[in-house]
Amino acid sequence: MKPESRVWKSLCGKAVVLLGSQDAFRKEARILQRLVKQYGAEEVEHMLAGAQLLKWTSLRSLGSADGLGRRWALATFWQSENHQKPQLESLAAVLKRKGLIS
């Protein structure tokens, strides 16, 4: 991914927010580059969101060799996403609410 691309800049911004400062980001930027190259920008964006939900302050866990931190962050992200979606209502419940059946 080219460093000047819009997607890369967006990921860098999210990483800076996670890490708390530009200086901290400079120290861990290579981790972000490796993650994007290995998993793609969209997946890394999900990882960063999960890490932020977990209140992590480093990218090192996401880049660990065993992949545990990456999987944990992704699971947290998807769990958060799935809880935000409204549950589907059954057709019978909708018809009862409308008074069409009793």
Write out the residue range of the structural domain in which residue 50 sits: 6-97
Q: How confident is the model at residue 89 (pLDDT cuts 50, 70, 90)?
A: confident
Query: Per-residue pLDDT tens for 57-79?
Result: 999 999 888 999 999 999 999 99
Distance, in Å, from the CA atom of 45 to the CA atom of 86, rounded to the nearest integer, reads 23
Would you call 27 helix, strand, or coil by DSSP?
Answer: helix
Would you call 39 helix, strand, or coil by DSSP?
Answer: helix
Higher pLDDT, 20 or 88: 20
Which DSSP category does 67 fall into?
Answer: -
Query: Per-residue pLDDT tens for 4-55?
Result: 689 999 999 999 999 999 999 999 999 999 999 999 999 999 999 999 999 9
Q: Is 81 a domain residue?
A: yes
Q: Is 1 a domain residue?
A: no
Instruction: Say if residue 8 is exposed, middle or buried (CB neighbours under 10 Å; 0-12, 13-18, 19+).
Output: middle
pLDDT > 90? residue 91 = no
Tally of domains within the chain? 1
- Residue 81 identity: E
